[in-house]
């Protein structure tokens, strides 16, 4: 399909080169996926209901929610990932209601259309507060009264923790990236290393809460997703062992709302309601 991506070219190039559609299938990313689903399940209104999965990539959460009985529309700015979601939907027993290239700041859906909006990727690729609040306001516009928003952010300290876990500080280029993340949250990757990620904004927890509140939504909770386990060097082995996996999840759950430890997570999830 001949789509034009509405996002920054560096971000678009990154997602053209990396297998985002398989990212959540192993290690720390699998922990992220399991915990994100847990947190959504704990707060989502029961089916049936309409879900807008904005920034939904190839449908990791969208297809799970269709199987749970929701009507799901997937929107993503990356044409390759939208094409993959459409391909999967065409052969799924629980297909998506729609799947299209779109911009979180300008949705085609009418006012008060959805029961749930997911913003599990857009906020960290919108690098100014103005853009992020615009996307949250657009989600709020599309939500019905009483509808729920689930929005994810990357923690301000994710790079330094990842660098420590993977011994990346031996590369002075990574050290410069991590230092800037700490200074102003503006993550940039001028190197050829795709595992150093791409253009993004890394939030402090209080910033995420403030942006959602400024958009007019009532914050119900702010949660750490992975807990501290994501930085362990043997995370793959732990996630493949039933007892050790259960321990990782137990610790993540026990610390998910501890404000003094939110920054140790790679990702944060905020849950809010339209009143």
Which pLDDT tens digit goes with each residue over 73-130? Answer: 999 999 999 999 999 999 999 999 999 999 999 999 999 999 999 999 999 999 999 9
Question: Tell me, what's the pLDDT at 162?
Answer: 97
Residue 216 tokens, joined: 């007019």
Question: Tell me, what's the pLDDT at 243?
Answer: 97
Question: Tell me, what's the pLDDT at 5?
Answer: 55
Question: Tell me, what's the pLDDT at 154?
Answer: 98
* 272/154 Cα distance (integer angstroms): 17
Indicate the burial class of 26 (C-beta count within 10 angstroms; 0-12, 13-18, 19 or more). Answer: middle
* 172/5 Cα distance (integer angstroms): 32
On whether the CB atoms of residues 53 and 237 are closer than 8 A, the answer is: no
* 60/72 Cα distance (integer angstroms): 12
Provide the pairing of β-strand 71-76 with 50-54. parallel
Question: Tell me, what's the pLDDT at 219?
Answer: 98
Question: Tell me, what's the pLDDT at 26?
Answer: 87
User: Looking only at Cα atoms, what is the longest distance across the chain?
Assistant: 51
**245-249: Cβ within 8 A, 24+ apart:** 248/31, 249/31, 249/34, 249/35, 249/38
Alpha carbon separation from 33 to 38, 61, 83 (Å, rounded): 9, 9, 22
The mean pLDDT values, 10 residues at a time, for the chain of 275 residues are: 65 94 91 98 97 97 98 97 97 97 97 98 97 98 98 98 97 98 98 97 98 98 98 95 97 98 98 97
* 37/61 Cα distance (integer angstroms): 8
Residue 220 tokens, joined: 């119900």
Alpha carbon separation from 259 to 34, 38, 209, 256 (Å, rounded): 21, 19, 12, 8
| Peptide bond between residue 95 and the one before it cis (omega within 30 degrees of 0) | no
Structural domains in the chain? 9-153+196-273 (3.40.50.150)
DSSP symbols for 54-106? ET-TTTTTHHHHHHTT-EEEEEES-HHHHHHHHHHHHT-SS--SEEEE-BTTB
Task: Give 107's Cβ-side CA count (13 Å radius).
Answer: 30
* 62/72 Cα distance (integer angstroms): 6
């Amino acid at each position: 399909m001949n789509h034009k991506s509405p996002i920054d070219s560096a971000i678009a190039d990154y997602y053209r080169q990396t297998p985002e559609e398989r990212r959540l299938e192993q290690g720390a990313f699998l922990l992220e996926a399991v915990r994100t689903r847990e947190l959504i399940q704990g707060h989502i209104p029961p089916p049936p209901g309409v879900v807008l999965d904005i920034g939904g990539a190839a449908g990791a959460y969208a297809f799970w929610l269709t199987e749970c009985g929701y009507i799901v529309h997937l929107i993503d700015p990356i044409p390759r990932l939208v094409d993959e979601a459409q391909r999967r939907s065409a052969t799924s027993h629980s297909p998506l209601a729609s799947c299209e290239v779109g911009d979180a700041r300008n949705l085609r859906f009418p006012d008060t259309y959805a029961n749930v909006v997911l913003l599990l990727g857009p906020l960290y690729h919108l690098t100014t507060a103005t853009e992020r609040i615009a996307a949250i306001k657009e989600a709020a516009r599309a939500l019905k009264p009483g509808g729920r928003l689930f929005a994810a952010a990357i923690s301000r300290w994710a790079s330094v923790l990842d660098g420590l876990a993977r011994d990346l500080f031996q590369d002075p280029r990574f050290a410069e990236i991590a230092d800037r993340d700490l200074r102003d949250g503006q993550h940039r990757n001028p190197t050829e290393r795709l595992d150093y990620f791409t253009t993004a904004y890394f939030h402090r927890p209080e910033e995420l809460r403030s942006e959602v509140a400024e958009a007019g939504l009532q914050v119900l909770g702010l949660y750490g997703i992975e807990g501290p386990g994501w930085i362990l060097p043997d995370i793959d082995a732990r996630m493949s062992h039933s007892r050790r996996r259960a321990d990782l999840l137990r610790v993540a759950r026990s610390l998910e709302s501890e404000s003094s430890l939110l920054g140790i997570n790679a990702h944060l999830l905020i849950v809010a309601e339209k009143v």
